[in-house]
Amino acid sequence: MVAISAHFTASEPSRDLIASLYRKARAAADHFDELSLRQRQEVRIRIKKLRYTIDVLGLLFAKDEVAKFVQRLKPLQDDLGHANDVSVANELLADLRVSENPAVIGRAAGGVLGWHDRGLADHERKILKHVRRFRHARLFW
């Protein structure tokens, strides 16, 4: 049996894991305004992994500090999730255009896609603000 140092706490490996996931998410978000939808999806996945890890291991840290950090993650995660939904809708609607009545489907799909794309464009400033807040959030670990 291996003796564990008296200085070891359960939060040390948790801190390392959270810090590593944060660095990866932060690096993925570099130059966010220049990223494609597919690259933004990678940022979303990294944010999601970080968030879920914090949800599991956050009990090992100061509750208020964890809550403040998570408040920075939630809006960004929601924004990126919406952008991913629009991307998936684009793919699904593109598949529908090859159906029996492509002209009718094409017009309807174009309207839906235009509406979603305009919504994404309208929210771009908000997403960039949430990315900035995430990148400059006070770390709790």
Q: What is the pLDDT of residues 13-58, one digit of tens each?
A: 999 999 999 999 999 999 999 999 889 999 999 999 999 999 999 9
pLDDT at 81 over 80: yes
Classify residue 7: in a domain, yes or no.
Answer: no
Domain that holds residue 79: 12-135
Classify residue 6: in a domain, yes or no.
Answer: no
Per-residue pLDDT at 1: 44
pTM of the model: 0.78
Q: How far apart are CA 19 and CA 126, in angstroms?
A: 25
Classify residue 60: in a domain, yes or no.
Answer: yes
> What total number of domains does the chain contain?
1
Classify residue 93: in a domain, yes or no.
Answer: yes
CATH number of the domain within which 42 lies:
1.40.20.10
Q: 6-45 in b/e burial notation, b at 16+ Cβ within 10 A?
A: eeeeeeeebbebbeebbebbbebbeebeebeeeebbbbbe
Classify residue 23: in a domain, yes or no.
Answer: yes
Could you give the dihedral angle defined by the CA atoms of residues 64, 72, 49 and 31, in that order, rounded to the nearest 10 degrees? -150
Classify residue 2: in a domain, yes or no.
Answer: no
Q: How far apart are CA 52 and CA 130, in angstroms?
A: 18
H-helix or E-strand spanning residue 45: helix 37-57
- Structure letter (DSSP) for residue 99: S
Identity of residue 19 = A
